[in-house]
Structure 1
């Protein structure tokens, strides 16, 4: 299982939110590229980036910090937040991003996801952010009546690289991930599923790994706070379940 250190970008800084609330943010670094490089130096194989302002604005806002991270770090990175048209997808991939994450448009314009996945095989992931089993969009600000499993299954044949599943009520709260819901989703689809939200300890990572069906986990606050030792976690996740 791959561990993806998360760098959430708000107003050019690396922050973490609680329950996706932009008013409840903690700044962890004024230099996101240096923060990203520290994760790389610790041995991470991927980076998970989120343009929080972009998620609300519907277009990239923190392009500068993202580009600095791509120029500084030599591991692949995936980015979500404000990526809602083909031009933006193409621009980010040209700049060296390994994978774009499409969230809001997966609900509002699923044909775009399918078109992008065909055009860029292996470089398009679907981000499904959920509250009580239903999908939320536009930076988690709007709730839908779409069920998580239904949305994920609708992309089974689209050629997307992965599903990134975030339980909003767990995110940033250090209360542990929703292992049961994430495992259920992973068993309901053939696509790789990456867990996000609430991953706050090595035990959480091991629990996700030991399901045998979850391909990755994203963690942010726990890495910044030191609740998870990144080199130790990376070693543990290479061990068999």
Structure 2
């Protein structure tokens, strides 16, 4: 089980959103770099970074912050937020990013996703954000009629590194992950699944760890860490 502490960056600060709503934003004291350094010292080897400014602007905004975090020894980071071109993917990888997350662009343009997977071997992560089984795009503002299970079946032949499956209605709520929906989705995917949305306790993580046989590779934990609902030292022991 890989545990990915989450760092969302906006305006150079470490923040968290509730259900992806930019109007319901909480700022935290530590800078993104300091927070990443803290996670590293505790023993985490993987981080999940989202450039929220980039997601809004459609281009990489917090480049210097991301590059600084890549310099922390022993840390691998996956980064998303507004990645819309092969050039942007290349730029992130050259900064030292381990994997690049594609969301809206990958869903809307499967040919682009195919090109990215061919050019950047095993570096591409696809984020699938789901509300009631259907994919939402553009920072969750735009609901589609695309079933997540239908989409994954169409891309199962590509060289995708992993899938991040987010249940939007659980994100930032700390109500616990939607385990049944996640496991059901994983049965349609040939790729490892990283679960995001609603993690509220160590017990949630342990339950997901026991689902490993169903392709669940890891879990992203955000708000529950920052609000101290989860002891990060205990969380690090689960890795």
TM-score computed with the length of structure 2 as normaliser:
0.95
> 1:166-187: CA deviations, max 9, x gaps?
1111111111111111111112
Counterpart of 2:235 in structure 1 is 233
Work out whether residues 45 and 74 of structure 2, in 8 Å CA contact, stay in contact via their aligned partners in 1: no
Work out whether residues 37 and 73 of structure 1, in 8 Å CA contact, stay in contact via their aligned partners in 2: no
The partner residue of 1:222 within 224, 228, 236 is 224
Q: Superposed, which structure 2 residues align to 1:49-128 within 5 Å?
A: 49-128=49-128
Q: How far apart, in 2, do the equivalents of 1:150 and 1:200 lie?
A: 29
Q: How far apart, in 2, do the equivalents of 1:153 and 1:125 lie?
A: 16
| Superposition deviation, residue 236 in structure 1 | 3.0
Q: How far apart, in 2, do the equivalents of 1:153 and 1:73 lie?
A: 37
TM-score computed with the length of structure 1 as normaliser:
0.94
Q: How far apart, in 1, do the equivalents of 2:39 and 2:135 lie?
A: 30
Counterpart of 2:13 in structure 1 is 13
Aligned residue for 1:188, secondary structure, equals coil
Q: How far apart, in 2, do the equivalents of 1:48 and 1:176 lie?
A: 19
Work out whether residues 29 and 35 of structure 1, in 8 Å CA contact, stay in contact via their aligned partners in 2: no
Q: How far apart, in 1, do the equivalents of 2:24 and 2:164 lie?
A: 23
Number of aligned residue pairs: give it.
237
Could you tell me which runs of 5 or more consecutive residues in structure 2 were left unpaired when the two chains were aligned: none
Work out whether residues 127 and 163 of structure 2, in 8 Å CA contact, stay in contact via their aligned partners in 1: yes
Q: How far apart, in 2, do the equivalents of 1:155 and 1:86 lie?
A: 18
Q: How far apart, in 1, do the equivalents of 2:21 and 2:97 lie?
A: 26
Q: How far apart, in 2, do the equivalents of 1:45 and 1:185 lie?
A: 27
Q: How far apart, in 1, do the equivalents of 2:159 and 2:15 lie?
A: 32
| Superposition deviation, residue 234 in structure 1 | 2.8
Q: Cα RMSD between the aligned structures?
A: 1.2
Q: How far apart, in 1, do the equivalents of 2:84 and 2:145 lie?
A: 20
| Superposition deviation, residue 137 in structure 1 | 0.9
112-121 or 92-101: which moved more?
A: 112-121
190-199 or 152-161: which moved more?
A: 152-161
Q: How far apart, in 2, do the equivalents of 1:152 and 1:52 lie?
A: 25
Work out whether residues 163 and 194 of structure 1, in 8 Å CA contact, stay in contact via their aligned partners in 2: yes
